[in-house]
């Protein structure tokens, strides 16, 4: 299976569009995307300095437009652009933060126009929310996960991003961030981030309200490819659910660690990160060190040929390999399991809730990552499980 990752804000770099303008249609695409976003994305992406492209209001549509352009070059958008290389369930899509809007378009939930327009509104609304209260974010690298979360709570901070590979992003008031940096958790480093405010926390409530007032005007489609959510790493089965999660994610933590766990459980054999690439590929390499998974960060047009080769290879492999008789659903975290009331033998579409794992500090939902039949429950209510322990056995179903 091939995974396609879409980066979020923070991945941008000055001049990041320059090399891509050599490709046919690139300049007109970014002018058109800029008209939709009401921002000069072409100039920002070629001439804007680090400060200019760090502005949340314009950075978000710039990053999403860039990712969508390259997805188009790889044949990965719905509509009039051929998307055969991504067809069916041999590909899984996941985005990080605002990259979830890119992922929603690549998965066929939103049109390109709707994704860019919604991203522009999101960026402006989050920028306005940041201006209401002085807040910020810091990356916490390393340390014991429980000790890190306890330290954040002690300083009045929230874990805005749980990225995996030992990386947690703390968010909240500036004095709390300063205290965290002065008194970091054991064996951890704290690095302040150049962002406007505490994204993915309740400080973004006004931005969420603005988005809630707009999305009823959209008509999302159900995903045509397997689409994972930052909320819990689970597959999303309907367009309406994907859109709802895109809105609520503005004030909720990004669980990219859960997305990486799901990708591992699905058995991905190759990963392509859309540009501006590098951050998510780095997380995946550290999280899956030694797993033998090829991870390609598409950083320039020179990387397109290898990306196309990976797409072709995965498509051919999916057609040639025998589909497994059954697969095991595993626990994404340590805790007490509470299975859903789903009878063995039930047909489950991708995204069907299978229960939750209740740990000391959080509750993690578990869902079916693909269409299938529940063959057997392997746990009972109240059983204690570790991350990676089997929960249920499913027979995958192949779409006709």
Q: What positions carry a catalytic annotation?
A: 97, 200
Distance CA 44, CA 231 (A): 31
Q: Smallest Cα–Cα separation from 273: which of 306, 305, 295?
A: 295
CB 94 within 8 A of CB 6: yes
Return all residues near 297 (Cβ < 8 A) that are at least 6 apart: 273, 275, 277, 278, 280, 281, 282, 303
CB 142 within 8 A of CB 134: no
CB 350 within 8 A of CB 369: yes
∠ CA 231-234-117, rounded to 5°: 55
DSSP bridge partners of 294: 270
Distance CA 234, CA 119 (A): 22
CB 85 within 8 A of CB 311: yes
The two tokens of residue 45 are 């992406």
DSSP bridge partners of 81: none
The two tokens of residue 51 are 């400060």
Distance CA 365, CA 266 (A): 17
């Amino acid at each position: 299976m091939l995974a396609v990752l879409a980066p979020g804000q923070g991945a941008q770099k000055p001049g990041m569009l320059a090399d891509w303008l050599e490709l046919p249609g690139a300049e007109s695409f970014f002018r058109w995307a800029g008209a939709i976003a009401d921002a000069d994305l072409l100039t920002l992406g070629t001439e804007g300095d680090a400060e200019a492209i760090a502005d949340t209001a314009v950075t978000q549509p710039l990053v999403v437009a860039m990712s969508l352009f390259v997805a188009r070059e790889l044949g990965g958008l719905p509509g009039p652009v051929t998307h055969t290389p991504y067809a069916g369930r041999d590909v899984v899509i996941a985005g990080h933060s605002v990259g979830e809007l890119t992922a929603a378009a690549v998965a066929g939930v939103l049109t390109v126009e709707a994704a860019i327009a919604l991203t522009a509104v999101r960026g402006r609304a989050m920028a306005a929310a940041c201006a209401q209260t002085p807040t910020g974010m810091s990356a916490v690298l390393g340390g014991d996960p429980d000790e890190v979360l306890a330290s954040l709570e002690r300083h009045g901070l929230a874990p805005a991003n749980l990225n995996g590979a030992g990386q947690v992003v703390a968010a909240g008031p500036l004095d709390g961030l300063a205290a965290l940096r002065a008194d970091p958790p054991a064996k951890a480093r704290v690095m302040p981030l150049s962002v406007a405010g505490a994204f993915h926390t309740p400080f973004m409530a006004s931005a969420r309200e603005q988005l809630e007032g707009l999305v009823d005007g959209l008509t999302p489609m159900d995903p045509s490819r397997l689409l994972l959510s930052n909320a819990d790493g689970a597959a999303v089965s309907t367009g309406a659910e994907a859109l709802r999660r895109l809105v609520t994610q503005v004030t909720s933590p990004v669980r990219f660690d859960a997305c990486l766990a799901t990708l591992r459980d699905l058995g991905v054999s190759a990963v392509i990160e859309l540009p501006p690439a590098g951050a998510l590929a780095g997380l995946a390499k550290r999280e899956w060190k030694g797993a033998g998974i090829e991870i390609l960060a598409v950083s320039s047009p020179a990387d397109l040929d290898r990306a196309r080769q990976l797409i072709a290879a995965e498509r051919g492999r999916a057609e040639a390999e025998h589909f497994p008789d059954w697969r095991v659903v595993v626990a994404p975290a340590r805790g007490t399991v509470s299975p859903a009331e789903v009878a063995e033998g039930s047909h489950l579409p991708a995204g069907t809730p299978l229960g939750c794992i209740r740990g000391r500090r959080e509750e993690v939902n578990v869902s079916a990552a693909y269409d299938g039949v529940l063959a057997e429950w392997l746990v009972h209510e109240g059983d204690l499980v570790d991350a990676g322990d089997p929960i249920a056995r499913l027979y995958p179903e192949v779409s006709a």
